[in-house]
Structure 1
Amino acid sequence: MPRVVVFDEFGGPDVMHVVEEPVVEPAAGEVRVRIEAFAVNPLDQMMRSGASPAPVPLPHARLGVEGTGVVDALGPEVTGLEIGDPVILTAIPDASIRGSYAEYTTVPASRVVARPAGLAITEAAAIWVAYSTAYGALVEKARMRPGDHVLITAASGGVGRAATQIANQIGAVPIAITRHAAKKDDLLAAGAAAVIATDQVDVVEAVRHHTGGTGADIVLDVVMGPGQQELLEAARPGGTLVAAGFLDPRPTPFPRGAPLTIFSYRSFEHTLDDVVVKRMAAFLNAGVRLGALRPAIDRVFALDDVVEAHRHLEKGLHAGKKIVVTV
């Protein structure tokens, strides 16, 4: 029978184990996908450890919010898809029930898009969450335009790297923020127009320098916490800040300073919107075809080594690149 990763209690990576389950037939409007690979995301770690903001019912909870595979079966009333089509999963809002850490899963047909030609299976498994988040925050929310100076926090992470590539594809100017100067060369090679290492320079002064004194047009904040005040000061009056993450668990002070447009963004806001998903998929396909969008892969593990993949994530050994598990 097909294998699936489950956990019956919250805790470290060792709570996960592989079990066999019968294959599930897709209901009306659903497709069954034979998973070829999935990515390991921080949200998976939060769900497994009991730190997820959404409740995770135990026992026998599943994991996985992104992945790629081929359509294996069609439920009644499904049109526009054929058995054998290679697809990417765009949203699994009930990941604890039908997550992608498995050989098969069923999802609504509207929650898959065609896999872009030119992507390796491991790349396709790791592209949607980071790139849809960065696209949604920068393009849909902030209305990023060519020439905009875009300040990107946690730039060495998955969303940060995606945001850098998307800004370049649009013709904007990505300015990367990192805590460590040692990451500067890697971020420049990844496409950043400039890198600000907070262990060396003052953020506000550095942004003014790189923007000709005007400040950033758009700030993508995936960190939050007390450091957000510096980002607000680094933005130009009338600019936009999009808060799209929560890497710093400390409270974020109430925004003060120059007048800005401030958005709070979560990826499900758009990945459950069929119209926006079509735009995301078209943008992604164009970027892959042009060579502008490509996820950075750190390590690839086998399904039987999923515990080790989570240990690798928790130790921070992936350096912001994606960890992928092949099925």
Structure 2
Amino acid sequence: MTGYVMPAEGAPQDRVWMAFPSAGYSLGETEAQHHEARSTWAAVAHAIAEFEPVTLLVDPGEVEAAKRYVSQDIELVEVPLNDAWMRDIGPTFVHAEDGSVAAVDWVFNGWGAQDWARWDRDAKVGALVAEIAGVPVVSSPLVNEGGGIQVDGRGTVLVTETVQLDPGRNPGLGRADVEAELRRTIGASEVVWLPRGLTRDSQRFGTRGHVDIVAAFTAPGRLLLHTQTAEDHPDSSVCKEIRDSLADRFEIVEMPAPDTLTDDEGYVDYSYINHLVVNGGVIACAFGDPRDADAAAILAEQYPGRTVVSVDARALFARGGGIHCITQQQPSAQIRPA
């Protein structure tokens, strides 16, 4: 164990950080798309605010719009933004040896320098959030995003070969290099490599394989795993491959994918795995799908004592992510007696 450790996502939290959509890919081109994006981000923020404080970063050009869509219970902070995927552009919060909180500032380069992405402003958000939060920065040279890691709070971290070893992110780095940096920054004592991510997420407007729509730790040693049961969906074989790579290490709890298989762009990567655990609650993705209720019941079983609140996430997935992707939790300090 190093001096820092990333706690489990269900550990006590001080707040959740989000970013409001700004001009570009996530906001969309038409007024209808603008309204859809703003309404969905606001719905997630309001759901979280029922459980704990929310701080919402807003690009200066979107402040008036944010005030129209977001209640006064949500703290707004003006910060220049390119996009609104806080899990990836923001820092990863960790505990120092004394239990205080620090923020790992990864290098962000638009999910591997993708030709459609802009990141000159977003690359600075990690350090800015740490400054606003009043916590020390742990600078990292690793190109990484919060959606690309899942931890159990005890040193085990899931990553994906197609993300951390992506030549567009970390050219020249091997597994040992990545593992050493994860050990230094988030206290990873065991790094488990998934072979890839879901099909849609591996296409042009995806992340190239984030783990946070594939698997989530609900307890040490137990994984909630996305399971595509429709044989004609390409993720059916992908999920089997991923499960085979994990089955001998963890207790696997299957989370069936929604019945919805396609949208106007092709096969979807709708996933109930992409939920957010908050103090006393779970903010879950819904898709207007027959399996929404079953997924909420599984989440309630996996996170006993927490209230599950579902928010329609179709507008998020149409833009490339889900509820987990647009949020970042800040854990509470756990100061130990001297």
After TM superposition, the score normalised by the length of structure 1 is: 0.30
